[in-house]
Amino acid sequence: MLNRMEMLRIFAVAAETSNFREAAGRLGISPQSVTRAIKELEALFGEPLFHRSTRQVQISAFGEQLASQARQTLNSFDQLFQRHAQPHATELTGRVRITAPHAVGRRFVLPLLGELMAEYPQIEFDLRLSDLMTDAVDAQIDMGVRIGFIRDRSYIARALARIPLFTVATPALLAKTGSPSSIEDLHNLPTSALVDRGSGRPWPWYFDNGRHLQPANPSFTTDDQETELDAVLAGLAIGQLPSYLVLPAIRSGKLCTVLDEQRPPPWELFLYRPQRGPVPARIRLVYDRLAECLGDPARVPSGVE
């Protein structure tokens, strides 16, 4: 049985030709299918759509009115799917919601969004910065950036880069305090502590073979990683920070690394999105561009040259 949209389409073609056989040829169906569709529509509307005789088929007055309405309806229906069949400007419109850690969001995601806004001014961006794993469904997030690991199978996660951790300090501070020769030496040196905003406790420092250490007496504590970097660059403390924050300062000589032989395995930088339904073109576009940007070591420093 034909659905009502299919019957209207058949009727609209038949109304243009006034010949069921010609209409069938245009549509690639049998004349019997055309006749059956017209009869079902006539039964639905309770009005004759064509006056039939042995010689000809002529559209009725009611049929003329219905044909005009049917063409408008079919045009609107076809345009709806044409707009969403390929990424034209009308499709690349709407809001894209992104979450990222504070430092990654400010340093790397925001500049890329600026580039995208210049190219696609009709896309609206909503960037939420959080160092906690955001529930994309509850927060209505389209995609997120995270460092570490993602075990939740409700997300499609894509690893983009490996992020080493470096234990660093200024040359002046190390000249004053001496360099640690073991991780236990950190208890007796000025160190920084980064507070986990979720738990309110400082993050431990990570080292090889799964070892971790919580420096006993941090001289500087903050809940913002970029502020921690500023404190380390000011010579206030030894800190453990990710490569994307400290590599430029290491390469310029502003910071020195310590305990290199006990460095932990790199963490991974992920881009993830919810595993749900069709993905709009604007979401695919931003997701792919973020993946390209965050996976580019020229834009996001992720290792020692």
pLDDT digits (tens, 9 = 90+) for 236-269: 999 999 999 999 999 999 999 999 999 999 998 9
156 and 286 share a domain?
A: yes
Q: What is the pLDDT of residue 136?
A: 47
- 135 has a pLDDT exceeding 70: no
Q: What's the Cα-to-Cα distance from 173 to each of 92, 178, 214, 227, 243, rounded to whole Å?
A: 52, 8, 20, 18, 20
Same domain, 43 and 118: no
Write down the pLDDT at residue 175. 96
Task: Name the domain boundary from 58, 83, 108.
Answer: 83
**305 has pLDDT over 50:** no
Give a yes or no: residue 60 inside a domain. Answer: yes
- In a domain, residue 190? The reply is yes
CATH code, domain carrying 71: 1.10.10.10
C-alpha–C-alpha distance, residues 81 and 25, integer Å: 25
Q: In terms of domains, do 116 and 229 share one?
A: no
Q: Domain for residue 288, yes or no?
A: yes
Does one domain contain both 200 and 281?
no
Confidence (pLDDT) at 191: 97
**Which of 83, 112, 128 finishes a domain?**
83
Question: What single letter denotes the amino acid at residue 252?
Answer: S
* Half-sphere exposure (Cβ direction) of 55: Cα atoms closer than 13 Å: 0
Question: Considering its fold, how many domains does the chain have in total?
Answer: 3
Question: What DSSP character marks residue 200?
Answer: S
Q: What is the structure's pLDDT at 285?
A: 92
Residue 303 within any structural domain of the chain: no
If asked whether residues 135 and 273 sit together in one domain, one would say: yes
Give whole-number Cα distances, 266 to 4, 161, 220, 225, 304, in Å.
59, 9, 25, 18, 12
Is 70 exceeded by the pLDDT of residue 139? no
The CATH number covering residue 131 comes to 3.40.190.10
- The mean per-residue pLDDT over the stretch 190-194 comes to 96
Taking 50 as the threshold, does the pLDDT of residue 304 lie above it? no
Q: State which of 11-25, 63-77, 161-175 shows the largest mean pLDDT.
A: 161-175
Task: Confirm whether 45 is domain-assigned.
Answer: yes
The answer to the question of residue 299 being in a domain is no
- Owner of token pair 């994309």: 136
- For 97-134, the pLDDT digits (tens) are 999 999 999 999 999 999 999 999 999 999 999 877 65
Asked if residue 305 belongs to a domain, the reply is: no
Q: Are 254 and 234 in contact (CB under 8 A)?
A: no
Chain-centre distance for alpha carbon 182 = 42
158 in the same domain as 146: yes
For residue 208, the 8-state DSSP code is G
Q: 301 lies in a domain?
A: no
Per-residue model confidence (pLDDT) at position 299: 86
Specify whether 77 is located in the same domain as 22.
yes
Q: Could you tell me the two tokens for 83?
A: 């707009």
Range of the domain at 51: 4-83
**Domain identity same for 288 and 255:** no
On whether the CB atoms of residues 108 and 291 are closer than 8 A, the answer is no
Please report, as a single letter, which amino acid is at residue 120: Y
How many Å apart are CA 294 and CA 271, to the nearest integer? 9
User: Coil, strand or helix: which one is 101?
Assistant: coil
Question: Does residue 51 sit in the same domain as residue 113?
Answer: no
Same domain, 45 and 112: no
Listed residues 63, 83, 103: the one ending a domain:
83
Q: What is the pLDDT of residues 260-296, one digit of tens each?
A: 999 999 998 989 888 666 788 899 999 999 999 998 8
Residues 128 and 256 in one domain: no
User: 147 and 273 share a domain?
Assistant: yes
Residue 222 pLDDT level (bands cut at 50, 70, 90): very high
